[in-house]
Structure 1
């Protein structure tokens, strides 16, 4: 590509892998700058990256993976940003492939992991569910919603910086935001070897957080696609229960009224959310 390229690597306590990753990137000559965002590491991650030739930005304390990504996006000078994890799962040899596909007219290209590239069976199962949900919401096939290995056009990525969370769900949010704005999102199959060191994800805490992401996906992209099925289900339940009680007891019960009223409320909430989402993505130009 003729555009300048910045590689942004959020890192926390990845001393075992960060040096090799930075060295391979610089030897490949695929970027104009390599930014490592040390998110409050206690093992010298930032110092090792700096010794290998990366530009390092230190967070005084851990703000989160998403916060590190936002810091890098703000500071980076390249027209194209490549985000990579520092744990050794993302291979620098795939960088030119991402850039090549981006130059074909895409605004974001995501490195899609195969099923055997997932960190665990549970994580793989959860990611498959996220992919199915996102595909339903967008009407496009989403191959890997949570992959942190991606190339994006910086100007467009910065438009959604205020939407990105500080935690691990920035890939999900940015992907859905690009789809919602009508930007072209592509996927590139990659091999993702087992990470070096211990994962920072906590199964219970982050499992609950990822469940909340499911609802966030819906409300972020097209709320009515999430609220209308729920409203319809409650309406059918209320109508069916009314038919049952009318035939057996000859009356309209409070439970039927509650379900029918709830279905109307859920639909109205979805309608209002749709309007708010439309305003959120209104083109500032």
Structure 2
């Protein structure tokens, strides 16, 4: 077992059913852990139950989002390693030890990767599979589970990217891609995800938050490696221009202005990507 001192962050919104048992199990396994429950504008007694079981509770006066709760907890944490997990009973405190053991091997972040059975439905499993593959292509490393909220991270490195984290859902997407961009070591271990506690509801909207996940991948991707986005777009315009030129030449034996426009757009997009790549290198020159 890792000898690191840990802070366990539990963002919670109306999780009165599961929060007490989760906190109690964490303390049974790690008596010296710093357990921080960030009550994100709950309308039930989540905060008082968490305090009853010994957690440090920080209250948001209104709901700011899962990512904002993580940032609040991260600022309050004092231990070397921060463990983030859900408060709805899906993540097993018993799996924390495996994450810490992997961190002890020299990794900067270790993520609990869910299998297909651990995904909430076929539609979400398919969506997460797409996000994983697309993000893996962007960062050049295999990402086992881009959206898993169960992870152990070295706090000092986590804080480097706190300004990039979104306030709503999908902070895991941002921090994962940022760690890969900075050259930090990231590992994945399989975990078992339990059914959400009866009466506990997911706060994720598949379509709205799914679009947000995709936009964040693009956003962090442009911070990470702009040319991976700009070159395919530039190449697509180039091919469209060539294709349209071939068509107009075969029909009218002429060069269309549309082909010229498509080619010039291709060059412009490529140059924008090149400039973005140089800016990115300057931003991360110390990493």
TM bucket by the smaller chain?
A: over 0.9
Q: Distance in 1 between matches of 2:285 and 2:72?
A: 24
SS at match of 2:194: coil
Counterparts of 1:68 and 1:280, CA distance in 2? 27
Aligned with 1:172: secondary structure? helix
Structure 2 CA distance for aligned equivalents of residues 246 and 274 of structure 1: 36
What is the correspondence of 1:1-285 to structure 2 with a 5 Å cutoff?
1-29=2-30, 31-196=32-197, 197-283=200-286
In 2 relative to 1, CA 231–16 (structure 1 residues): closer, same or farther, beyond 3 Å?
same
* 1:104-151 CA-partner distances (Å, limit 9, x unpaired): 010000000001100121111111011101211222111001100000
Of residues 33-42 and 192-201 in structure 1, the stretch that sits farther from structure 2 once superposed is: 192-201
CA offset at residue 31 of structure 1? Answer: 4.8
Structure 1 residue runs of 4 or more that deviate by more than 3 Å after TM superposition: none
Q: In angstroms, what is the RMSD of aligned CA positions?
A: 1.4
Q: Number of aligned residue pairs: give it.
A: 284
Gaps in structure 1 of 5+ consecutive residues:
none
Distance 1:248 1:24 in 2: 75
Q: Please give the secondary structure, in 1, of the residue aligned with 2:87.
A: coil
> CA 1:69 to 1:31, structure 2 compared with 1: closer, same or farther past 3 Å?
farther
Q: How far apart, in 2, do the equivalents of 1:14 and 1:275 lie?
A: 46
How far does residue 283 in structure 1 lie from its aligned partner after superposition? Answer: 2.2
Higher mean alpha-carbon deviation, 34-43 vs 230-239, is at: 230-239
User: Conserved in 1, the CA contact under 8 Å of 2:234 and 2:266?
Assistant: yes
The separation in 2 between residues aligned to 1:206 and 1:42, in whole angstroms, is: 23
What whole-Å deviation, never above 9, does each CA across 1:32-72 have from its counterpart, x for those lacking one?
21000001111111111111110100011111111110111
> In 2, distance between residues paired with 1:125 and 1:280?
34
Distance 1:143 1:64, change over 3 A: same
TM-score normalized with structure 1 length: 0.95
Shift of 1:184: 0.3
Distance 1:171 1:229 in 2: 26
